[in-house]
Amino acid sequence: MYKPKILVTGATGKTGSAVVSELLAKGWPVRALVRKQDARAEQLARRGAEIAVADLFETEQLCSAMRDTERAYFLPVYDPRTLESVTAFADAAREAKLEAIAGMSQWLASPNHPSFLTRAHWDADHILASIPGTAYIKINPGYFADNYLRLIDVAAHLGVLPNLTGDSRNAPPSNEDIARVAAVVLMDPQKHAGKSYRPTGPKLLSTREMTDIFSRVLGRKVRLATTPVGLFLKAARLDGVGPFELSSLPYYVQDHLQGAFEFCAPTDDVLKVTGRPAEDFEVTAGRYAALPKAQRTLANRVRAWFGFLRTPLSFGFNNARYEREMGFKAPAQPLFAMQDEGWKRERMAQFQGWNPVAAGGDVDGGTVSGDHRGGESAKTDMPPSSEMSSSQSGTRVVLA
């Protein structure tokens, strides 16, 4: 069987590296696109990937990286100029006559959303889908399991899990399941051409339920700690997260509170595409609990307490000022996902076979209803992040 070479962008990242692993395990030739030769790139090379170094904003470099490849996994860069990168990639893909692209999109993607990044994802989907002769398959997961589990060290050493999202629920997908879906569609793109897949975990969970799972995998009692977004943003800045990534977080917290990530969830897309059921959150959490940072050593404990004590005294980014300085022009009428009837209709059409009873909710007029939205905190008249100062605004979230 002929197996064409597949280009993987973001190859040293969490989903990109997992896509590389899946493809190599199945015997497919992989060219891993990286920004620089470093230890992570060398590790990919040792596992059998061909390494290409390129700037995702440079069409010429991308054309060179795509030479002799026929399919690609594309991960948009976290950057204010992300659409410039998408355009450069699309131009190179057109030049290379790629057969197929599996693109990382976003469950919230919409032209009306208050987040610039979310609107950019919507634009990126349309740019990539319009390349003549190239099949585009959209992977649009919601709030990743990684967004909760990157706090495993806080839970391990302080015994608390910060909670920004009230009692709203999510069926968070693992990086590995997202990668398995992307890898499978790239192995047989014609079967999946033009389709959109939303990998989720197998079950809707609240953060309170996740806390019980954290307690089991860590072997200690973990308590839920309601945390202001501002404090979370401060902690994220101390962790090295930049202002562009953080500018979307307050919006995504609101989407979470309003039920956008439990809307049409869970799906069976992981099983349907890969033939294997989605990984249970507790299994994913067990891997994170085994990470070095989660081991209860004296050094780790001191580091955790030091971070905890200095966070309230540190400064956060001023999101409103940052968005003004970057010139992010908001839509005439910004709408969170659950306020956007067009977004809801499109998602309901995408998941016509979705079973709301199995998902733990009810459908009423095309929207999910229930008493699990987070109460008063889920009101839609709360200010978006563009109206929040750094003193109002507290960790790091990968995309939603």
pLDDT, tens digit, 9 for 90 and up, residues 339-355: 999 999 999 988 765 54
Question: What is the arithmetic mean of pLDDT over 51-57?
Answer: 96
Q: What is the pTM of this model?
A: 0.86
Given a contact cutoff of 8 angstroms between Cβ atoms, the answer to whether 191 and 274 are in contact is no
Q: What is the pLDDT of residue 353?
A: 52
Question: What is the arithmetic mean of pLDDT over 176-198?
Answer: 96
Q: What is the pLDDT of residue 325?
A: 92
Q: CA-to-CA distance for 263 and 354, rounded, in angstroms?
A: 10
Q: What is the pLDDT of residue 217?
A: 98
Q: What is the pLDDT of residue 395?
A: 34
Q: What is the pLDDT of residue 352?
A: 65
pLDDT digits (tens, 9 = 90+) for 103-156: 999 999 999 999 999 999 999 999 999 999 999 999 999 999 999 999 999 999
Average pLDDT, the chain: 88
Using the predicted structure, report yes or no on whether residue 384 has a pLDDT greater than 50: no
Using the predicted structure, report yes or no on whether residue 377 has a pLDDT greater than 60: no
